[in-house]
Structure 1
Amino acid sequence: MPKIVDHDARREEVAEIAARMIAQRGIEGTRIRDVAELAGYSTSIVSHYFKSKHELLMCVYRLRMKQTVARVEAITREGGDLLDSLAAVLPLDVERNESWRIWLAFWGLATSDANFLAEQRQRSRESVELFHRAIIGSGAMREGAQSRLVAQALLSSAAGIATQAVYDPENWPAQRQREILRLLLESTVPALAATPD
């Protein structure tokens, strides 16, 4: 009887290996044959799942975005506070630091590749909505134009914090990232301004 292969699981496995490689080597330093070797598969098997490096890169980007969205939504759904929900996107641990290294590499790619630019635009808009749902879900603001503006401002701020943390981790440890996000939350969300530490 032939071996049953879960194709989606294998694609995700290969994408995760590629993600770690991109985080360490960058996009240019990531080759399909190296990903295949690290995965323990032949290049032809990896090429069966990903027709091109471009397709593999897109899968990596989407996979890490999906994981981050799930993390934020879980905290929001479980009634976690707004700071915890939004801080879930920050590079507070190794996995999230890897995700940010990947996204930063893709931002560079988006400047010259129309497909990645379109993907980046879509994901940025979805991320604003993710932050907006977290703000509304926490009860910190009522839904409206102002809450959407706050979501956009906080997402932009979180991206700035994350970028600094990736490039200068000694000066941006996890606690500092959270403190700065808390400061931004308190200055943009009126209901949180008087919240004690």
Structure 2
Amino acid sequence: MPAPVDHEEKRKAIAGIAADLIADGGLEAATIRQVAARAGFSTTAVTHYFANKRAMLLAAYRHMAESTQRRFDALAADSRSDPLSRLEILLPIDEDGRRAWRVYFQFWPLADHDAELADEQRWWSANAVGLARETLKLAYPAIDDIDLKATMALSALQGIAMQALFDPDNWPASRQRALWRINARLIIAGTVG
């Protein structure tokens, strides 16, 4: 008797493979055929889980965003971690972070023409502002204008990430972390904005 198939796990695995292909070669690299080949499945098996390429790509985006969320949550669960270092996980400071940002950047232009993807990106952006809000409250309990400062923090992180992704030689992890800390202090002090 064959072992039962965990369909949700298989769906997540396929989305992860699609995300890896996007990170390595852009959206064009994540065809149903390429995903199936890398997974060792037939294209029919992939289309069993995703009606079309667009659905698979959206699942790949979610997979990467959920992966980043899990990394943040793992660091936040460690009560010994410095609160501001939790937000560093949103930067491309390691291979997981670089892969995530390569995927995110592939989708940003599409959101301009795809309402569902735009909604998805707005949700994840609001989620990231929530993470910044939570983190800044921990780091600076007396903070005022928390919503504005959390939004500013996310903007700073995104700007650093963009520079680091496109100019990695000049933006090593140490520089990203240092500039994030400087931005955080300026945002909290209210000298930016």
TM-score, with structure 1 as normaliser: 0.90
What is the aligned partner in structure 1 of residue 129 from structure 2? 128
Aligned partners of 2:84 and 2:139 also within 8 Å: no
2:57 counterpart SS class: helix
Unpaired runs of at least 5, structure 2 = none
Mapped to 2, the partners of 1:31 and 1:76 lie a distance apart of 36
What is the aligned partner in structure 2 of residue 174 from structure 1? 173
Report the alpha carbon displacement of residue 70 of structure 1 after superposing the two structures with TM: 2.0
Mapped to 1, the partners of 2:156 and 2:41 lie a distance apart of 41
Aligned partners of 2:84 and 2:135 also within 8 Å: no
Mapped to 2, the partners of 1:112 and 1:103 lie a distance apart of 16
Identity of aligned residues (%): 38
Matches within 5 A, 1:56-135: 56-79=56-79, 80-135=81-136
Report the alpha carbon displacement of residue 28 of structure 1 after superposing the two structures with TM: 2.3
2:128 alignment partner AA: S
Moved over 6 A (4+): none
Task: Give the length in aligned residue pairs.
Answer: 188
What is the aligned partner in structure 1 of residue 41 from structure 2? 41
Mapped to 1, the partners of 2:76 and 2:176 lie a distance apart of 19
Q: Kindly report the root-mean-square deviation, in angstroms, between the aligned alpha carbons of the 2 structures.
A: 1.4
Report the alpha carbon displacement of residue 21 of structure 1 after superposing the two structures with TM: 0.5
1:29 alignment partner AA: A
1:117 alignment partner AA: A
- The answer to whether 1:26 aligns with 2:26 is yes
Q: Cα deviation per residue 1:129-164 (whole Å; 9 max; x = unaligned)? A: 11111222x2413476x1111110010110111111
Q: Cα deviation per residue 1:60-119 (whole Å; 9 max; x = unaligned)? A: 111111121222233223222122111011011111101100000110111111111111
Unpaired runs of at least 5, structure 1 = 191-197
TM-score, with structure 2 as normaliser: 0.92
What is the aligned partner in structure 1 of residue 147 from structure 2? 148
More deviation, 27-36/101-110: 27-36
